[in-house]
Amino acid sequence: MSTVAPGLVTGTWTIDPVHSEVGFVVRHVMVSKVRGRFAKFSGTITVADDPEASSVEATIEAGSITTNDENRDNDLRSSAFLAVDEHPTWTFKSTAVTQKGSDYVVTGDLTVRGVTHSVDLDLEFNGVSPDPWGGTRAGFTATTEINRKDFGVETNIPLDGGGVVIGDRVQITMEIEAVFQQG
């Protein structure tokens, strides 16, 4: 095993969904921001000797979306928005990792509603720590911004006097805690 960052050993790390979060923010009626998250997701991070040869794969269950409003969540699950009956998962598969200062950019293919686009995730490595169960955990923060219309989420309601109910830009933030998979 070699180390690519202090404490981060090469090998496979599995995302711990209990201690991680995949959240998003989108503008609402042009004056505020609505926050939400996905309750169910999984993924692996494969750390290579050369950090730029590392990779990430993740899956999000689209139907697990929650914004703390059941009516809005049901609307978001409908064919007007995420179409979870036809497209139950989102996937991300990295295609490149590049160093950016002391952090990294993970480029990869994001598939939402059956539409795939390349996105860049700004990745911050938050460190490594032993856990109380004899394992090793690493923390990462990843952020990106997408245009929902690029992924076929076109529904919107115009406002009197201009503007729309839902903004096009969606900020996505992931707080990831991953567990090293021993041998």
Note the pLDDT tens digit of each residue in 9-37.
999 999 999 999 999 999 887 778 999 99
Residue 183 has what pLDDT? 67
Given this model, what pLDDT does residue 1 score?
A: 44
Q: What is the chain's mean pLDDT, rounded?
A: 92
How many alpha carbons fall within 13 Å on the CB side of residue 34?
A: 19
Give residue 123's Cα distance to chain centre.
11
**Domains of the chain, CATH where assigned:** 3-180 (2.40.128.110)
**Cβ pair 23, 173 in contact under 8 A:** yes
Give the pLDDT confidence of 103-162 residue by residue, as tens digits.
999 999 999 999 999 999 999 999 999 999 999 999 999 999 999 999 998 888 777 777
Predicted confidence (pLDDT) at residue 2 exceeds the cutoff of 50: no
For 85, what's the count of Cα atoms within 13 Å in the CB-facing half-sphere? 5
Give the span between the Cα atoms of 176 and 14, in whole angstroms.
10
Q: What are phi and psi of 17, to 5 degrees?
A: -65, -20
CA dist 178 and 11 (Å) reads: 12
